[in-house]
């Protein structure tokens, strides 16, 4: 891997003559950083979209059983297993990003994710090698989960540290724009294959296509990330430390940031429970629980994500004007009040009712996807930002976000109550609301430990 550019690049570190302590960032570099982080993130999440939307087929390929619910539970179990190793990835990549730089670590996570996804497309079926098939699937998912442990915290930190203080919400919103683009690409491909291929062809060989595409996509993502320069905030921090970049003790990243970590866990909980519920679990819910046509269900979710992409930049800009707290609080209140009505609409079964219910949830979710990429990095100082955010984010995602499809499917199976998805989102909204109440507003202000940035 080529060495990163010099830490003190003269293009992006001039001082504003009116405010000598402020850093003026070259707009061209900001755009390039946002584009590379967002595009790389889209490629990372392409796989997660594909895995979720083709879960029913994967269950038939890797977990043969006469019970469709058992197959789906097994598939989502492998999905959730990847999230169990995310904290380990965060513990490795986060501190490394604070020590050697954000750019290098983001390049490594890109390589690992692409390799894990590509490997899934090569695994023989259960009918071919028996129990070895689900074991190999689990191994590939663990590689993906480990690499993703350093992805979101690194990408959001990278954009936040490049963005001018007054535009951090707008620029940060493009990170989740990339995530949605990856989901849409994955969902769109699965939808096309479901429409064009017979069930037999899809189970026999068609399911491999989206995973094999990840190889060349990963090469593109790696190229984009290797062209990035280090952030001004990290460069200044390394310069302060006389380029020694001493290792930050794990104790400082966790116990020294305990309040910020608790807030991070609460915010990420509501963000990811609702995110995975809507974008990952709902396609399977429509198909397996409501017996809705698979192709039409995928098209509805695809339309909801497209709607969110349109709203995303505007909601991010709004968070710069009114603040992160009001935007996130509006999302929490909306999920608390509207989850049950929205799910009742979805359960009506008509295309219009499903679209209306899913669209309402999508707009509420946009409050989180737009504001969180700028709000979460602002919880921590530069010296420990990547590491602390990786720890808090991945613990919360592993315990609550990534397990959402598995837990909700199990709850419905145990209770027979089809409203469990709504109740689960409402509980998450309460926890998120408490975190918003205690968080400090960061809109328009410098990141902790960094000078003002214009």
Q: Say yes or no to pLDDT of 24 above 70.
A: yes
Mean pLDDT for the stretch of residues 20-38? 79
Query: What pLDDT, on a 0 to 100 scale, did the predictor assign at position 246?
Result: 53
Greater confidence (225 vs 264) lies with: 264
Q: Say yes or no to pLDDT of 366 above 90.
A: yes
pLDDT tens figures, 188-214: 888 788 888 888 888 889 889 988 987
Query: What pLDDT, on a 0 to 100 scale, did the predictor assign at position 363?
Result: 96
Query: What pLDDT, on a 0 to 100 scale, did the predictor assign at position 65?
Result: 66
How does the average pLDDT of the chain come out, rounded?
A: 83
SS (H, E, C) the chain: CCCCCCCCCHHHCCECCCCCCCECCCHHHHHHHHHHHHHHHHHHHHHHHHHHHCHHHHHHHHCCCCCHHHHHHHHHHHHHHHHHCHHHHHHHHHHHHHHHCHHHHHHHHHHHHHHHHHHHCCCCCHHHHCCHHHHHHHHHHHHHHHHHCCHHHHHHHHHHHHCCHHHHHHHHHHHHHHHHHHHHHHHHHHHHHHHHCCHHHHHHHHCHHHHHHHHHHHHHHHHHHHCCCCCHHHHHHHHHCCCCCCCCCHHHHHHHHHHHHHHHHHHHHHHHHHHHHHHHHHHHHHHHHCCCCHHHHHHHHHHHHHHHHHHHHHHHHHHHHHCHHHHHHHHHHHHHHHHHHHHHHHHHCCHHHHHHHHHHHHHHHHHHHHHHHHHCHHHCCHHHHHHHHHHHHHHHHHHHHCCHHHHHHHHHHHHCCCCHHHHHHHHHHHHHHHHHHHCCCCCCCCCCCCCCEC
Query: What pLDDT, on a 0 to 100 scale, did the predictor assign at position 265?
Result: 95
Mean pLDDT for the stretch of residues 335-346? 95
Query: What pLDDT, on a 0 to 100 scale, did the predictor assign at position 453?
Result: 82
Query: What pLDDT, on a 0 to 100 scale, did the predictor assign at position 8?
Result: 36
Please state which CATH class domain 26-438 belongs to: mainly alpha
Distance from C-alpha of 289 to C-alpha of 281, rounded to nearest angstrom: 11
Query: What pLDDT, on a 0 to 100 scale, did the predictor assign at position 11?
Result: 40
pLDDT tens figures, 280-332: 788 778 877 777 776 677 778 888 989 999 999 999 999 999 999 999 999 99
Query: What pLDDT, on a 0 to 100 scale, did the predictor assign at position 3?
Result: 38
CB burial class (10 A; 0-12, 13-18, 19+) of residue 10?
Answer: exposed
Query: What pLDDT, on a 0 to 100 scale, did the predictor assign at position 156?
Result: 93
Q: Say yes or no to pLDDT of 175 above 70.
A: yes
Query: What pLDDT, on a 0 to 100 scale, did the predictor assign at position 234?
Result: 83
Distance of alpha carbon 445 from its chain centroid, rounded?
Answer: 25
Question: Could you tell me the residue ranges of all domains in the chain?
Answer: 26-438
pLDDT tens figures, 376-421: 999 999 888 999 999 999 889 888 887 888 888 889 888 988 899 9
pLDDT tens figures, 42-80: 877 787 778 767 777 887 888 776 666 666 667 767 766
Cβ-count burial 221-240 (b if 16+ within 10 Å, e if not): bbebbbebbbbbbbbbbbee
Q: Say yes or no to pLDDT of 231 above 80.
A: yes
pLDDT tens figures, 90-141: 889 988 888 888 888 988 888 888 888 889 889 998 888 888 888 888 888 8
Q: Say yes or no to pLDDT of 179 above 50.
A: yes
Query: What pLDDT, on a 0 to 100 scale, did the predictor assign at position 362?
Result: 95
Residue bearing tokens 């290098």: 104
Residue bearing tokens 């959001």: 156
């Amino acid at each position: 891997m080529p060495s990163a550019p010099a830490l003190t690049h003269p293009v992006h570190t001039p001082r504003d003559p009116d405010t000598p302590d402020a850093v003026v960032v070259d707009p061209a570099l900001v755009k390039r950083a946002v584009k590379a982080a967002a595009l790389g993130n889209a490629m990372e999440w392409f796989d997660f979209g594909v895995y979720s939307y083709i879960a029913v087929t994967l269950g038939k390929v890797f977990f043969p059983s006469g019970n469709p619910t058992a197959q789906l539970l097994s598939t989502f179990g492998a999905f959730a297993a990847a999230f169990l190793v995310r904290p380990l990835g965060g513990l490795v990549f986060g501190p490394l990003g604070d020590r050697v730089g954000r750019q290098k670590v983001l390049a490594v996570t890109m390589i690992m994710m692409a390799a894990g996804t590509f490997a899934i497309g090569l695994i023989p079926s259960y009918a071919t090698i028996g129990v070895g098939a689900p074991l190999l699937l689990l191994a590939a998912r663990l590689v993906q989960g480990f690499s993703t442990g350093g992805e979101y915290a690194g990408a959001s930190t990278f954009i936040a540290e490049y963005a001018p203080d007054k535009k951090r919400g707008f620029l940060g919103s493009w990170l989740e724009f990339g995530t949605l683009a990856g989901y849409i690409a994955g969902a769109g491909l699965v939808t096309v294959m479901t429409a064009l291929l017979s069930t037999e062809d899809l189970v026999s060989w068609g399911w491999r296509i989206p995973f094999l595409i990840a190889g060349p996509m990963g090469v593109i993502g790696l190229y984009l990330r290797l062209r990035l320069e280090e952030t001004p905030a990290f460069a200044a921090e390394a310069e302060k430390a006389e380029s020694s970049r001493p290792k930050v003790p794990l104790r400082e990243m966790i116990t020294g940031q305990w309040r910020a970590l608790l807030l991070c866990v609460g915010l990420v909980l509501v963000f990811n429970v609702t995110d995975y519920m809507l974008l990952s679990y709902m396609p399977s819910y429509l198909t397996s629980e409501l017996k809705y046509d698979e192709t039409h269900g995928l098209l509805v979710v695809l339309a909801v994500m497209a709607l969110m992409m349109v709203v995303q930049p505007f909601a991010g800009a709004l968070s710069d004007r009114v603040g992160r707290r009001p935007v996130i609080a509006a999302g929490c209140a909306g999920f608390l009040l509207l989850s049950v009505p929205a799910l009742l609409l979805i359960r009506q079964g008509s295309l219009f009712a499903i679209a209306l219910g899913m669209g309402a949830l999508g707009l509420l979710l946009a409050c989180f996807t737009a504001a969180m990429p700028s709000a979460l990095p602002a919880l921590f100082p530069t010296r420990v930002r990547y590491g602390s955010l990786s720890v808090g984010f991945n613990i919360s995602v592993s315990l609550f976000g990534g397990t959402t499809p598995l837990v909700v499917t199990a709850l419905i199976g145990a209770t027979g109550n089809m409203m469990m998805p709504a109740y689960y989102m409402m509980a998450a909204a309460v926890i998120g609301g408490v975190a918003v109440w205690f968080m400090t507003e960061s809109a328009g202000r410098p990141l902790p430990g960094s000078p003002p940035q214009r």
